[in-house]
Amino acid sequence: MACAEEERCSYEVCKETAEWLRARTARRPRTAIICGSGLGGLADALEDKTAFAYEDIPHFPRSTVAGHAGRLLFGVLKGQPCVCMQGRFHGYEGHAASTVTFPIRVFFLLGVENLIVTNAAGGLNPQFQVGDIMFIRDHISLFGVAGHNPLRGPNDERFGARFPCMSDAYDQELLGLARESAQELGFQSFTREGVYCLLPGPCYETIAECRLLQALGADAVGMSTVPEVMVARHCGLRVLGLSLITNKVVLSYNSQEKANHEEVLRISVVRAEELQRLVTHLLGKLQEHTASP
């Protein structure tokens, strides 16, 4: 017998949510955007918006974190029909992995083909500066290594195959469009590429943990994104990941620096306009590629 959590996130439940949304908006999004902490302004850039509060959407989880507005918006950005989450869900809020990733399966059933995930992250790479935007090239899931995987449990083939490949988790074409967009906008001085590492939170990392993550090859660390990417790839969506470096991790016991959420939100606001311009420009290029014969 399936557990209550599996039943709550079943194909039938996801389909019911998708049909509820489809009945209330004429938009048929091809791209979904998930806004990380303090980055909800991306959703405000949508044209001809239709907005739904999470609490009004059947079966949708609730976001409880500051900097996450808790709204789902449908609209158009640079000609590309989009759905945008102003606020995501995290395991540290008490959600199961299947709940955290519930919206991704709903997007799949709505016909979404591309997923853009953004997050606020701590910089592990000593070359990174606060305010840099990192294009995610790959990820390390210490959460997953410990057995907490959103795909754990019975597999429903209507979503995807039992053993999805993750060596191509981040789409090379979308990454190429992101690079081109950064160059055309003159953003090369603060755009980077690297490996994102997931830790479950809500505590920020210890100094010893940060040193370990550096040794593993991680360039940035955060508390989200990877479960969403795993489920997106399971469903066959193409993924682009963007991390805004909002703080540099503490690596010295003599340092007086301390990571805190208020600083994360402050830096997010400072760099939000450039991130918004980057994603908007990228979507314009994606629309051109889509329209090409």
Our answer to whether residue 247 is catalytic in this structure is yes
Closest CA to 173 of 286, 268, 96, 15: 286
CB 199 within 8 A of CB 142: yes
CB 63 within 8 A of CB 290: no
pLDDT at 1: 33
pLDDT at 239: 98
Our answer to whether residue 223 is catalytic in this structure is yes
Our answer to whether residue 37 is catalytic in this structure is yes
- Of 93, 113, 193, 263, the active-site residue reads 93
Tens digits of residue pLDDT in 108-117: 999 999 999 9
CATH 3.40.50.1580 corresponds to the domain 4-291: yes
- Of 18, 32, 63, 68, the active-site residue reads 68
Average pLDDT over residues 102-126: 96
pLDDT at 96: 85
pLDDT at 198: 94
263 burial level (CB within 10 Å; 0-12, 13-18, 19+): middle
Our answer to whether residue 141 is catalytic in this structure is no
Our answer to whether residue 230 is catalytic in this structure is no
pLDDT at 7: 65
Tens digits of residue pLDDT in 13-38: 999 999 999 999 999 999 999 988 66
The whole-chain average pLDDT of the chain stands at 88
- 113-127, 255-269, 273-287: range with lowest mean pLDDT: 255-269
136 burial level (CB within 10 Å; 0-12, 13-18, 19+): buried
In the chain, domain spans: 4-291
pLDDT at 2: 43
Separation in Å, CA 183 to CA 26, 120, 139, 281: 35, 22, 24, 11
User: How many CB atoms are located within 10 Å of the residue 142 CB?
Assistant: 18
Higher-scoring residue by pLDDT: 90, 256: 90
Our answer to whether residue 224 is catalytic in this structure is yes
Joined together, the tokens standing for residue 107 give: 């997007």
pTM of the model: 0.91
Average pLDDT over residues 261-290: 80
pLDDT at 97: 83
Percent of the chain past pLDDT 70, that is, above it, reads 87
